[in-house]
Structure 1
Amino acid sequence: MENNRLTDIEMGEQSTQFLTFIMAEEEYGVEILDVQEIRGWEACTEIPNMPAYVKGVINLRGTIVPIVDLRQKFGLEHIEYSAITVVIVVKVLVDDKSKVMGLVVDAVSDVHTIAHSEINLPPQLGPDNGPSVIRGLVSIKDKMVVLLSSSLLLDLEQFQDIENMNVHNAQASIVANG
Structure 2
Amino acid sequence: MSMAAEKREAQFVTFSLGEEVFAVPVESVREILDHEESFQLPHGPEYLLGLRDVRGQGVPIIDLRLKLGRTRTVKTQHTRILVMDIPLADRVLTVGLVADRVFEVIPFRLEQIEGAPDIGIAWRSDYIRGVVRRETGFVVIIDLVRLFTAAETPALTNLPEMAHA
Alignment of 1:123-162 (within 5 A): 123-125=117-119, 132-155=126-149, 157-162=151-156
Rg comparison, structure with higher value = 1
How many residues in Structure 1 have an aligned counterpart in Structure 2? 160
Structure 2, unmatched stretches of 5+, are 1-5
1:61 corresponds in structure 2 to 55
SS at match of 1:152: helix
4+ residue runs of structure 1 moved beyond 6 angstroms?
none
- Are residues 77 and 145 of structure 1, via their aligned partners in 2, closer, same or farther at CA, if it must alter by over 3 Å? same
- Are residues 84 and 156 of structure 1, via their aligned partners in 2, closer, same or farther at CA, if it must alter by over 3 Å? farther
Q: Pick the aligned partner of 1:42 from 36, 39, 53.
A: 36
SS at match of 2:111: helix
Under a length normalisation based on structure 2, what TM-score does the superposition of the two structures give? 0.84
1:95 corresponds in structure 2 to 89
- Are residues 116 and 108 of structure 1, via their aligned partners in 2, closer, same or farther at CA, if it must alter by over 3 Å? same
Structure 1, unmatched stretches of 5+, are 1-11, 173-178
* TM-align CA RMSD: 2.5
Q: Share of identical aligned residues, percent?
A: 29
Contact 1:100 1:154 in 2 (8 A): no
The alpha carbon displacement at 1:156 in A equals: 5.1
2:64 corresponds in structure 1 to 70
1:8 corresponds in structure 2 to none
More helix by share: 1
